[in-house]
């Protein structure tokens, strides 16, 4: 497998918009670190070494250095990272201390993904974030001073009661800090989140799609003017700073996922996912009870995954990825091509910026129905 993903399912606070799997009960961290090492050993028969390590969550930056060192030692024994491989760690600004940064560097971390979301204090408070805008600026500068050149910043757009000007200021602050990568996401309202409840009770406005579209289209145009590559729906970088781990995922490469809620894919047809429950994971890893589920993807499911993920990329969906089904897609997407939302080349289908904002809908309209490949596989 090309990549290793570790899900660290802990955060100090629960952001109001977040529906990822995590817990704010940090007292089980020691047991979790132990079980992560057990799972790594149990999975060590799978192909290695790895080209990338990615520690996400949750907030991996909550791990004390000694625990992070334990995990690193285990992974190095079971899934060693190739020389020159990419080791990304997701971090919150309040965790970017000199001590932590120097410790991560000794572990081999060479890329940071920093969850800033906004530089505006009142927006951060509305999200229930733990840091201020100044914390974010200071943390990025400390990371740069520590010698970590590859830094990505997360920002959220399309917030209620905001303007394009505020979004432009947020992006401008990130660019002024000299970071080479941005991950930007439209605010979505997920069930079972505090934000969903706040909107239902009239305590908060719901996000408006037209605001998100305005922010999105301006961002991609502005970044191109600045010499950036908006290389995926939610990601843009200066040349040479794309996320190698995520780029492999969008291309259908294999990866192994460890920790509660983590997913794995063998690169061919088998998908596996761990239970999204910390207590269950801790009880069952290394026992006769299973802590994961697994499925064999059908040919049409594999094609649909390629459609969904590749359409998000700057390079688009390659015709070679869908085989004989390509002629069917030409017909299914003819209206989008005529509207200028999609460009059809000799080798691929590529979405325009306007089309990218509708990428999920466009992809689903191209999906193969169950059993629909039929004789096209021949």
Domain assignment present for residue 283? The answer is: no
What is d(CA 218, CA 225) in angstroms, rounded to the nearest whole number?
A: 11
Tokens (6 digits) for 9: 């399912």
Cβ within 8 Å of residue 252, ≥6 positions away: 267, 305, 306, 309, 310, 321
| pLDDT > 90? residue 255 | yes
Q: Residues 161, 220: one domain?
A: yes
pLDDT by residue (tens digit) across 15-70? 999 999 999 999 999 999 999 999 999 999 876 789 999 999 999 999 999 999 99
Q: Please give the backbone phi and psi of residue 24, each rounded to the nearest 5 degrees, phi first.
A: -95, 5
Question: Residue 332: which of 372, 298, 297 has the closest Cα?
Answer: 372
Q: Residues 51, 173: one domain?
A: yes
Is the separation of the CB atoms in 171 and 222 below 8 Å?
Answer: yes
Beta bridge partners of 343: 350
Is the separation of the CB atoms in 57 and 68 below 8 Å?
Answer: no
Is the separation of the CB atoms in 212 and 186 below 8 Å?
Answer: yes
pLDDT at position 372: 72
Which domain, by its residues, includes 339? 299-371
Is the separation of the CB atoms in 349 and 311 below 8 Å?
Answer: yes
**Residue 373 binned pLDDT confidence (cut-offs 50, 70, 90):** confident
- Strand stretches in the chain, DSSP E: 3-8, 50-57, 81-91, 111-117, 150-157, 181-186, 229-232, 235-237, 255-258, 263-265, 270-274, 292-296, 317-318, 342-344, 348-351
Q: Residue written as tokens 């069930």? A: 191
CATH code for position 184:
3.20.20.70
What is the average pLDDT across 135-141? 98
C-alpha gyration radius of the chain: 21
What is d(CA 127, CA 170) in angstroms, rounded to the nearest whole number?
A: 15
Q: Residues 68, 182: one domain?
A: yes
pLDDT at position 46: 75
Domain assignment present for residue 163? The answer is: yes
What is d(CA 145, CA 18) in angstroms, rounded to the nearest whole number?
A: 31
pLDDT at position 331: 95
Domain assignment present for residue 286? The answer is: no
Domain assignment present for residue 70? The answer is: yes
pLDDT by residue (tens digit) across 206-220? 999 999 999 999 999
Q: Which of 187, 220, 249 is the last residue of a domain?
A: 249
List, as own/partner pairs, every contact residues 325-334 make where C-beta atoms lie below 8 angstroms and the sequence separation is at least 24, other chains included: 325/368, 325/373, 325/376, 328/376, 329/366, 332/365, 332/366, 333/362, 333/365, 333/366
Cβ within 8 Å of residue 360, ≥6 positions away: 308
**Residue 377 binned pLDDT confidence (cut-offs 50, 70, 90):** very low
Domain assignment present for residue 376? The answer is: no
Domain assignment present for residue 274? The answer is: no
153 burial level (CB within 10 Å; 0-12, 13-18, 19+)? buried
Average predicted confidence (pLDDT) for the chain = 95
Domain assignment present for residue 94? The answer is: yes
CB atoms within 10 A of CB 238: 16
Q: Residues 19, 83: one domain?
A: yes
Q: Which of 184, 216, 249 is the last residue of a domain?
A: 249
| pLDDT > 50? residue 376 | no
- What sections of 108-193 are H helices per DSSP? 121-127, 133-145, 164-176
Total count of domains within the chain: 2
Q: Residues 150, 229: one domain?
A: yes
Question: Residue 324: which of 373, 260, 263 has the closest Cα?
Answer: 373
Is the separation of the CB atoms in 270 and 297 below 8 Å?
Answer: yes
């Amino acid at each position: 497998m090309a990549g290793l993903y570790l899900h660290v399912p802990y955060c100090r606070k629960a952001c109001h918009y977040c529906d990822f799997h995590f817990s704010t009960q940090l007292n089980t961290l020691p047991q979790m670190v132990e079980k992560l090492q057990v799972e790594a050993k149990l999975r060590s028969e799978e192909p290695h070494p790895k080209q990338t390590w990615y520690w996400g969550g949750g907030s991996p930056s909550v791990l004390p250095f000694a625990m992070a060192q334990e995990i690193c030692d285990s992974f190095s024994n079971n899934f060693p990272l190739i020389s020159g491989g990419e080791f990304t760690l997701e971090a919150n600004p309040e965790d970017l201390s000199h001590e932590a940064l120097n410790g991560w560097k000794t572990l081999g971390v060479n890329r940071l993904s920093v969850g800033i979301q906004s530089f505006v204090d009142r927006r951060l408070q509305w999200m229930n974030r733990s840091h201020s805008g100044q914390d974010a600026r200071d943390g990025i500068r400390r990371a740069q001073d520590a010698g970590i050149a590859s830094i990505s910043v997360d920002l959220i757009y399309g917030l209620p009661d905001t303007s394009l000007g505020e979004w432009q200021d947020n992006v401008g602050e990130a660019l002024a800090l000299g970071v080479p990568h941005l991950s930007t996401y439209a605010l979505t309202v997920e069930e079972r989140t505090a934000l969903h409840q706040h909107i239902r009770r009239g305590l908060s406005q719901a996000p408006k799609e037209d605001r998100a579209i305005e922010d999105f289209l301006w961002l991609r145009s502005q970044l191109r003017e600045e010499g950036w590559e908006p290389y995926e729906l939610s990601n843009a970088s200066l040349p040479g700073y794309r996320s190698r781990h995520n780029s492999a995922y969008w291309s259908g490469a294999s990866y192994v996922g460890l920790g509660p809620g983590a997913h794995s894919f063998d690169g061919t047809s088998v998908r596996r996912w761990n239970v999204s429950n910390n207590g269950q994971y801790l009880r069952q890893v290394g026992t006769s009870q299973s802590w994961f589920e697994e499925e064999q993807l059908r040919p049409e499911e594999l094609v649909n995954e390629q459609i969904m993920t590749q359409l998000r990329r700057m390079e688009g969906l390659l015709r070679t990825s869908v085989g004989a089904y390509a002629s069917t897609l030409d017909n299914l997407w003819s209206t989008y091509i005529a509207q200028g939302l999609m460009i059809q080349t000799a080798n691929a289908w590529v979405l325009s910026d306007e089309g990218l904002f509708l990428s999920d809908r466009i992809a689903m309209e191209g999906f193969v129905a169950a059993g629909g490949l039929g004789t096209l596989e021949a």
